[in-house]
Structure 1
Amino acid sequence: MEQIRPFPPTDFIDQAELEEAIRLVPAPDLKQWVVDNYLKNDGKLYNPDHDHIAELMDDDETFLAFAWASSAAVSKKRMVLGQCEKIMFNQGGWRKARQEQQMRDWFGFVPVYLITVDASFCERANDREFCALLEHELYHIAVERDEDGEAIFSEHTGLPKHYLGGHDVEEFVGVVKRWGANQDIKRLVEIAKNPPFVSDLDISKCCGNCVVN
């Protein structure tokens, strides 16, 4: 049976509209769908570029969590549809304890990375746009590499070291190969005289991590 992509709960979006405020909720179903489709080698959307994430999640499921946001955020006058962040807490007083408690209340653990996506966008997006957005955010979880391009492993855990990474150019090469190019990449493609890839959605311009950095 074909696995249908997850959609955000409609009552969650409706309640946020009534309250006229952005709400966030954990999305364990979205996490499981991403694991099954992107990270498992028999997944429909399996991408070996993310094997380093899969390897860590095999060892520790708390490495990554997902959340729905009821609507887009705005940063630097741009709409943010998705964001991958490395969880870091404010120090001092009870702030760190309060923030850790929120993560535990949501997910049952404190994740290393959190990917949040706009539920209202995902509800109306087509499959290609939805998959490209999630793939883009996954690519922000980058593995540290040595001068030869080999992954660097932790001496303590034996697992790859990670950091919050930026783009190869104006978009991740892996996203372009799999889902098509945005307008900036299309110009580069034309200059290089390669066949163009077409996509109307410029994910890099609506990713919170990209906007901030």
Structure 2
Amino acid sequence: MDQIRPFPQTDFIDQAEEEEAIRLIAAPDLKEWVITNFLTLGGELHNPDHDHIAELLHDDETFLAFAWASSAFTRAKRMVLGQCEKVMFNQGGWKKARQEQQMRDWFGFVPVYLITIDASFCEQATDREFCALIEHELYHIGVERDGDGEIVYSDHTGLPKHYLAGHDVEEFVGVVKRWGASDDIKRLVEVAKQAPFVSEKNIAASCGTCLIK
């Protein structure tokens, strides 16, 4: 039963509804599940694209933290179900101290990256929807590569150089309709025509939903 995917606590969602606000809580169980299934060699959902994250976490477990949000929020008229951010404090003085304290109260440390997931969505999402959302956010933790596609390592730390990555493809349907698809769009279409690499068997083994139905 250790493989059952983590579900958010319902009490903080209920509290948020009573307060008519969005509440957030730390999600250490989600982090542990992601490490076991996505970031560990031999994990049911392991993806070598994220090996740099695993290496950075192995060196420093404070590199990444996860949190549940009681509900989604709207940005540019779109519902945001997950968000990966590089934790930075642009303020100084007490503002910075307050924000750092909040992180330490939640996680016991100030992470380099924070992934926040909509708990209300995940309560009802299928295993495939849940896994796709988690992996989407992991892909935002990018790694620098040289002209040959090899990972660039820091001369100072000896670890992969990382950055907050944007999406591979960002385009309007209307532009493609009127002017045709760019090379990036064409590549995405070709990938979409293929069967997913991750099978239902792998998902079931890592999420365990079928085991508790």
- TM-score, with length taken from structure 2: 0.80
2:82 aligned with 1:106, yes or no? no
Aligned 1:195-206 pairs, distance under 5 A: 195=193
Residue 22 of structure 1 is matched in structure 2 by 22
| Alpha-carbon separation, structure 2, partners of 1:107 and 1:144 | 27
Residue 175 of structure 2 is matched in structure 1 by none
Question: Relative to 1, partners in 2 of residues 1:36 and 1:88: Cα closer, same or farther, differing over 3 Å?
Answer: same
| Alpha-carbon separation, structure 2, partners of 1:72 and 1:37 | 25
Question: Relative to 1, partners in 2 of residues 1:78 and 1:49: Cα closer, same or farther, differing over 3 Å?
Answer: same
| Alpha-carbon separation, structure 2, partners of 1:124 and 1:193 | 27
Give the counterpart letter for 1:144 in structure 2: E
Residue 63 of structure 1 is matched in structure 2 by 63
Tell me the SS of whatever aligns to 2:156: coil
Question: Relative to 1, partners in 2 of residues 1:192 and 1:140: Cα closer, same or farther, differing over 3 Å?
Answer: closer
Question: Relative to 1, partners in 2 of residues 1:76 and 1:111: Cα closer, same or farther, differing over 3 Å?
Answer: same
Where does structure 1 lack aligned partners over 5 or more consecutive residues? 172-186, 199-213
| Alpha-carbon separation, structure 1, partners of 2:115 and 2:143 | 17
**Paired residues, number:** 183
Tell me the SS of whatever aligns to 1:152: coil
Give the counterpart letter for 1:33 in structure 2: W
- Contact 1:189-1:196 at 8 Å conserved across structures: no
Residue 38 of structure 2 is matched in structure 1 by 38
Residue 202 of structure 1 is matched in structure 2 by none
Give the counterpart letter for 2:17 in structure 1: E
Greater relative CO, 1 or 2 (CA 8 Å, sep 6+): 2
Give the deviation of 1:167 after TM superposition. 1.9
Residue 138 of structure 1 is matched in structure 2 by 138
Give the deviation of 1:90 after TM superposition. 2.1
Question: Relative to 1, partners in 2 of residues 1:11 and 1:152: Cα closer, same or farther, differing over 3 Å?
Answer: same
Tell me the SS of whatever aligns to 1:90: coil
Question: Relative to 1, partners in 2 of residues 1:191 and 1:120: Cα closer, same or farther, differing over 3 Å?
Answer: closer
Question: Relative to 1, partners in 2 of residues 1:160 and 1:14: Cα closer, same or farther, differing over 3 Å?
Answer: same
Give the deviation of 1:168 after TM superposition. 1.9
Cα deviation digits, residues 19-41 of structure 1 (max 9, x gap): 11000000000000000110011
Cα deviation digits, residues 111-133 of structure 1 (max 9, x gap): 00000010000000000000000
Aligned 1:119-158 pairs, distance under 5 A: 119-158=119-158
Give the deviation of 1:42 after TM superposition. 2.0
Tell me the SS of whatever aligns to 1:4: coil
Overall identity of the aligned pairs, in %? 75
Larger Rg: 2
| Alpha-carbon separation, structure 2, partners of 1:135 and 1:4 | 17
| Alpha-carbon separation, structure 1, partners of 2:131 and 2:58 | 22
Give the deviation of 1:4 after TM superposition. 0.4
Residue 78 of structure 1 is matched in structure 2 by 78
After superposition, the CA RMSD in angstroms is: 2.2
Tell me the SS of whatever aligns to 1:94: helix
Give the deviation of 1:169 after TM superposition. 2.0
Poorly superposed stretches of 4+, deviation over 3 Å? 187-198
| Alpha-carbon separation, structure 1, partners of 2:59 and 2:73 | 33
2:49 aligned with 1:49, yes or no? yes
| Alpha-carbon separation, structure 2, partners of 1:3 and 1:193 | 29
| Alpha-carbon separation, structure 2, partners of 1:168 and 1:190 | 9
